[in-house]
Chain A
Amino acid sequence: MTDTATPDFATLSPSRGQKFRQRVLPLIALALILALVPALSPSRTVYSLLNAVGINIVFALSYNMLLGRGGLLSFGHAVYFGLGGYAAMHAMRAIEAGDGLWSGFPVFGLPVVGFAAGALAGAVIGWPSCRRAGTAFAMISLGVAELIAAAGFMFASIFGGEEGVTGDRMNGPELFGLSLGPVSEVYLFIAFWTVVGTAMIFAFTRTPLGKLSEATRDNPERVQFIGFDPVRIRYMVFIAAGAFAGLSGGMAAVNYEIFTPESLSLHPSGFVLLMAYIGGIRYFSGPILGAVVLTVMQSMLSDFTEAWLLYLGVLFIAIIMFAPGGLAGIFHGVAGTVRRDGAGRAARSLGLKAAGVSLLLVGLIVLIEVVIRWSNGYGEVFEPFGLMLETGSVLTWVLVAGPILGGAALVRFVAKTDEGGA
Chain B
Amino acid sequence: MSTAVEVTGEQPDSVAAVATQRYYRRFAPIERVMHALLMLTFVGCALTGMPLLFSDQAWAAALARLVGGFETTTLIHHLCAVVMITVFVAHVIRLCYRALESGNALGMLWGQDSMVPQPQDIVDIWLHFKWFVGKGPRPQFGRWTYWEKFDYWAVFWGMFIIGGSGLLLWFPVFFANFLPGWMFNIATLVHGEEALLAVGFIFTFHFFNGHLRPEKFPMDTVIFSGVIPEHELVDERPVEYARLVREGRLEAIAAPAPARGALLFGWVVGGTALALGVLTVVLILYSLVLWRPRGGRGLFAAVGRSPFPAGPPGRVGPRSSTRLATMT
A, B bound: no
Interface residues of B (CB under 8 A from A): none
Q: Which residues of A contact B (CB under 8 A)?
A: none
